[in-house]
Amino acid sequence: MNDTSSLHPILQPTFETVLQRNPGEAEFQQAVFEVMQSMSPIVGTHKRYAGRSIVQRICEPERQIIFRVPWVDDKGEIQINRGFRVEFNSALGPFKGGLRFHPSVNLSIIKFLGFEQTFKNALTGLPIGGGKGGSDFDPKGRSDGEVMRFCQSFMTELYRHIGEYTDVPAGDIGVGGREIGYLFGQYKRITNRYEAGVITGKGITWGGSQARKEATGYGTVFFADEMLRRVNDSFEGKRVVVSGSGNVALYAIEKATQLGAKVVACSDSSGFVVDEDGLDLEALITLKEVNRGRLHEYVEGRPHAVHTPTGQGSSIWDVPTDVALPCATQNELDESHARTLVKNGLKLVAEGANMPTTPGAMALFQSAGVLYAPGKASNAGGVATSALEMQQNASRDSWDFETTEERLRQIMIDIHDDVVNTAEEFGRPGDYVTGANVAGFIKVADAMLALGVI
Ligand code: NDP
């Protein structure tokens, strides 16, 4: 992996420096390598980007904060977690990106997410920089009281680093409406300010935006719909498989179904469900969002639904499908999964999750002629709608669902067109990876060059 010789010679020493500076950070190195692989057409022809410093600066976070998060569980025992906030790049606006609470969280994962976020946010065309944060805390199986105490302790350190004009967190894996509420509540208490624009993903009655909850999933499907439209096709009658069953997955399932597709499978970390009748979204939302249940409970009373537990040799990617929407986590779809999907007639992949496809799987999709969209383009609808939430907070206004959804749809169409046009301009028609990386890079690099060496 990460074979430096495949990079443009101008970029090889820069990537070597990234490897030396960030030892053992496999996910971060993978994300940087993927962007650098797309940069050949631009560093070769555009002298202002060819200097080592601009690419090197983009790979170096502006600030990285790591902190202790002590809290007391329901048994009265003290628990210690680790908190992170990586403020990656603020050339285009305040740092912006979600918080992830999951036991796998470490500095490498937060840095890869912050790096990707920088380009994704640039693609939205909205004034937001890139950042990411989180903790190795696992909310699964914890009581509401434990989650609240953890969130309050986390914010007791984080509050000093964030603000409407500096850094605006949001949700990600393990951080939904409940966690955002506890985090915002503690921020408000400590600062004595109702600064709604400090965090996004808030509830509708306390500063949130309509359609934010749905935005990442809907946006991914809007983006995929544009990809299909470009080749005179549509979601109508398509078979769709969506991995995950969290925030992004549930609303991707909803929008794909609304556009005429049949979504037959979804998953969680314990296994996957196939329902040949098409997934019953209402039941899934009650199960996952209201009851915080596990997916195997979905099949009870459904004769055509089958649950396969993780670790039994098969995966959700064995289910034949026209469209695959990976919406769970990084590196969940590898080369052997990709081979099976292609053999089964796959036409399109649009990533709802961040970096869910391994480099080998991505190369396989591209060489097999599968339409493939990287997450930094196709899942940008979540952060774009967060920026719309910030706009509403700043103007003390709130828009209705239809207005907000339509703005989201138009943003996804604009990102799609920008990515397609950039890929064509740089001699790679139909290559969404090059289009997204180059278009995002140019916006960030131009702003950084304009702002001087800071
Ligand atoms: P949620 O916590 O709501 O859901 C995550 C889903 O993925 C759950 O079904 C979870 O299963 C599954 N999952 C998580 N980790 C693993 C794992 N290691 N192996 C297998 N399954 C796993 O998170 P979101 O839906 O918010 O986020 C999903 C992805 O989308 C992430 O990559 C995130 O970075 C990305 N994203 C999210 C945005 C947002 O607005 N929320 C915006 C843009 C991207 P289980 O419950 O069993 O853990």
- 297/322 same-domain check: yes
Does residue 11 belong to any structural domain of this protein?
yes
Across the strands, what pairs with 317? none
- Residue 424: predicted pLDDT: 96
Structural element, H or E, at residue 268: strand 262-268
The minimum-distance atom of ligand 1 relative to the CA of 352 is: 30
User: Are residues 266 and 372 located together in one domain of the fold?
Assistant: yes
- At residue 13, the pLDDT reads 92
What is the rounded distance in angstroms from the CA atom of residue 217 to the CA atom of residue 405? 12
Average pLDDT for runs of 10 along the chain of length 454: 82 94 97 93 81 86 98 98 98 98 98 98 98 98 97 98 98 97 98 98 98 98 98 98 98 98 97 97 94 94 94 95 98 98 98 97 97 98 98 97 98 98 95 97 96 92
Residues 89 and 235 placed together within one structural domain of the fold: no
Examine residue 406 and state whether it is found in any structural domain, yes or no.
Answer: no
Query: What number does the ligand 1 atom closest to the CA of 248 have?
Result: 25
Of 175, 250, 269, the one to substitute when testing ligand 1's pocket (max ligand atoms within 8 A of C-beta) is: 269
Task: Quote the domain boundaries for residue 115.
Answer: 63-194
Q: Are residues 83 and 30 in the same domain?
A: no
Q: Do 146 and 268 fall into the same domain?
A: no
Residue 64 has a pLDDT of: 98
Judge if pTM exceeds 0.75. Answer: yes
In this prediction, residue 51 carries a pLDDT of 66
Whole-number Cα distances in Å, 326 to 267, 334, 379, 435: 10, 11, 11, 20
Cα radius of gyration rounded to whole Å, the chain: 21
For residue 272, what are the CA distances in angstroms to 153, 161, 262, 293, 318?
35, 39, 16, 14, 11
Question: Is 209 within a domain?
Answer: no
State whether 149 and 114 are in the same domain.
yes
Q: Is 75 a residue of the active site?
A: no
In this structure, are 255 and 360 located in the same domain? yes
Kindly state whether residues 220 and 340 are assigned to the same domain. yes
Is 379's C-beta closer than 6 angstroms to any atom of ligand 1?
Answer: yes
Q: Count H helices, E strands: the chain? A: 17, 12
Catalytic residue among 132, 213, 288, 376: 132
- Do 36 and 110 fall within a single domain? no
Same domain for 142 and 73? yes
Residue 71 sits in a domain whose CATH number is 3.40.50.10860
CA 197 to chain CA centroid, nearest Å: 20
* Residue 432 included in any domain: no
Longest CA span, the chain: 64
pLDDT for the residue numbered 432: 98
Residue 409 lies in a domain: no
Do 156 and 274 lie in one domain? The reply is no
* 147 in a structural domain: yes
Whether 414 is in a domain gets the answer no
* pLDDT in the model for residue 368: 98
pLDDT, residue 322, reads 98
Count how many domains the chain has: 3
Centroid of ligand 1 to alpha carbon of 354 (angstroms): 9
Residue 30 resides in a domain = yes
